[in-house]
Chain A
Amino acid sequence: MRVFEKLKLDWDVPIEVRGLRTQFGTNVIHENLDLRLNAGEILGVVGGSGSGKSVLLNTLLDLKKPDAGKILVFGRERSSLSVQDRRLIDNRTGVLFQGGALFSSLTVQENIMVPMRQHTDLPVALMRELADMKINMVGLPRHAATLSPSDLSGGMRKRAGLARALALDPQMLFLDEPTAGLDPIGANAFDELILQLRDALGLTVFMVTHDLDSLFAICDRVAVLVDKHIPIADTLDNVIKYDHPWVREYFGGPRSRAASLGKAI
């Protein structure tokens, strides 16, 4: 695509973080944090409660400004881009917030159409068709299109949120605890779905998660957010061997053992 070539975007590295520091007042959340995301991979980010996973996500999404350091999106700093160019990049990212963050005054179908209305000039009938296809793609029943978010269960709301995140066919997908609050069957199905979509659409996925099953099942690499930075982001096998008390406790607990057993079977 010519526009993108002109922007000198680096497709192989959707996100690169160098020396990031974020803080609220004097409370430092991240210090000297480095992270690199490779195209086409699913990266799981783990860390204790309050370790700043969601803050990291918000910083990557430009919802919070970093206090120091650089965030390169497709090889460019957001602040170095013009408004239009930034929009081109924003079009390439989809986000699933923790609760789905669906607009409660709109139906599911209309929710999925919102990004399309904002960024394309497609006729409404075609947008509806595309929205219905996304609804189908994320495994929601057909009649869900006309329901409003308050009529949906938690799992369905997440699927609907995912459908909206996929509305513009993003290259990058940010997921904030996608399987939290789902029953194991629903969580497995969601993991499956993300893997499937990654393979079909070539997505790069940044996933904040607490779900050990997800980590074992679908993540290519796992980044550990501990002590205000990410000391290791590697394959799960290497992360488990990493020598840090928190990591040992996290992956050495009974839940982790059960999850790894599940993977082995």
Chain B
Amino acid sequence: MSLRPHTSSDAYSFEIEDEQLIVRAFGRWDLHTVKEIDVALKADLEALGYGYADVDMAETGYIQIIFDFADLTRMDTAGAFILTRTIGCHDGFCRRWCVRNATDGQKGLVYAAAEAAEGMAPLKPRPWYSPLETLGKASVRALSETYDTIAFLGQFMMVMAKVILNPRRVRWKSVTSLIETVGLDAVPIVMTLSFFIGAVIAFMGSDLLQSFGAKIFMVDLVGIAVLREFAVLITAILLAGRSNSAFTAQIGSMKMRQEIDAMVVIGMSKEEVLVAPRAIACLVAMPILTFAAMIAGLGGGLLVAWSQDISPVLFLARLKEVVPLNHFWVGMIKAPVFALVIAVIGCRQGFAVGGSVESLGARTTTSVVQAIFTVIVLDAMFAMLFLRLGM
């Protein structure tokens, strides 16, 4: 008895002969055709009462199924999988089936696919509380992140104390090369940026103050803003983007290649070898860069002032008169603090890199974000502190 498939698929046909379901497969059963075959086959089997979804042995009984491959031109694992999983197996229950008119290769393929399909249990769906789980995990992660950073800070202090007490332990060679990359190489970009910031402040100031007829006060504005805040902040943010990310990436990739493990095994202290030189380099470079930024910022202001009919001589005289030196020191004193923030966060995130490339990227991002965040928060705290101190 021949059964007509409901769908018009020409990839197979059904026939029932002596209580046996014969499935004839035609043409290509491979990755490029299984999409249509899968849909059609499921629908047809449902209609026949051999549903993929309701394999009930008691009801359908053990009807033998024969796969006939006489007219098959090509079959790959995908095709074999579709055939055996849809007709033969489901949820660990298997109907009895066999293959006829098949080449040895096809037989091997079908049995291999059936075997692989058999062990497959459906994945459990995500439980309803999985968003809560994500939230909880994120909170715990944030807490442990803070804890780890503080712990690292403590470790770092210890190492720095040791290094300061015994300066010969410092690797001066790497310190000098780091000062070059962290400090010297950053001078042009830091000065350029600071120059523009100074110029912009001067422009805004002169525009606003002119309406009060107090254009000369722009000198005070530029002087105080650049010396107190902008020079050091621009430098710190630039260093956070430039050097802090480099620290994380360097240490992180060393961690990924087990170089840090090798160091520990050899008996070197990873903090002493990797962290201390970076911290010292930052401590040296940051004040110098800040100073350069101050000069460039004032230069930008001076140039704009000149274009507004305030001569450089007048600008400098006024600057000396109205901007006391303590503004300069307020700016400079923040530089080493920011330098340490950048070095510590960069190194700590580098050590936290795991085994995957993805975690390297994630840690580098975290490192820059944390460093800039901390720098700005600390700057605000400094502002309040100096206000109270009356500086």
Contacts and interface: CB of A to CB of B under 8 A. Distances in A.
Given A105-B357, A105-B358, A150-B354, A123 B105 contact: no
Contacts of B28: 1
Interface in A85-139: 104-105, 116, 119-123, 126, 129-130, 132-134, 136-137
29 contacts: A104-B356, A105-B357, A116-B31, A119-B31, A120-B32, A126-B34, A126-B38, A129-B81, A129-B120, A130-B78, A132-B120, A133-B77, A134-B77, A134-B116, A136-B116, A136-B117, A137-B113, A142-B119, A145-B123, A148-B356, A149-B356, A150-B356, A196-B112, A199-B108, A200-B108, A201-B77, A201-B108, A201-B109, A201-B112
Given A1-B28, A1-B74, A133 B34 contact: no
B87 to A, nearest CB: 15
B77 A142 contact: no
Contacts of A130: 77-78, 81
Nearest to A166: B77
A146 B126 CA distance: 13
Given A137-B113, A169-B78, 6 more contacts: A105-B356, A122-B31, A130-B77, A148-B356, A150-B359, A202-B105
Interface string A136-168: 110000100110111000000000000000101
Interface residues of A, number: 32
Contacts, number: 80
Contact of B116 (A119, A137, A168): A137
B355 interface: yes
A1 B78 CA distance: 17
A73 B81 CA distance: 29
Contacts of A200: 105, 108-109, 111-112
Interface in B65-91: 73-74, 76-78, 81, 85
B31 A120 contact: yes
A130 B109 CA distance: 14
B357 A104 contact: yes
A199 to B, nearest CB: 6
Given A105-B356, A150-B356, A133 B117 contact: yes
Looking at chain A's contact residues, the main secondary structure is: helix
A130 B119 CA distance: 13
A71 to B, nearest CB: 25
A130 B82 CA distance: 9
B35 interface: yes
Residue of B28, B31, B119 with most partner-chain A CB within 10 A: B31
Top 10 closest pairs, chain A to chain B, by CB: A169-B76, A150-B355, A200-B108, A150-B356, A136-B116, A104-B356, A200-B112, A105-B358, A137-B116, A133-B116
Contact of B81 (A1, A133, A146, A149): A133
Q: A123, A168, A200 — which one has the most chain B CB atoms within 10 A of its CB? A: A200
Nearest to A198: B108
Contacts of B74: 1
B112 A137 contact: yes
A92 B78 CA distance: 14
Interface in B30-62: 30-32, 34-35, 38
Interface string B97-136: 0000000010011011101110111010000000000000
Contact of B120 (A119, A122, A126, A142): A142
A129 B32 contact: no
A101 to B, nearest CB: 12
Interface string A194-214: 001101111000000000000
A134 B35 CA distance: 17
A139 to B, nearest CB: 10
Given A105-B358, A129-B85, A121 B117 contact: no
Interface string B341-374: 0000000000000111111000000000000000
Nearest to B119: A136
A133 B119 CA distance: 9
Interface string A1-24: 100000000000000000000000
Given A116-B31, A199-B108, A200-B108, A169 B77 contact: yes
A102 to B, nearest CB: 10
Contacts of A133: 77, 81, 113, 116-117, 120
A104 B358 contact: yes
B251 to A, nearest CB: 18
Nearest to A133: B116
A137 B77 CA distance: 10
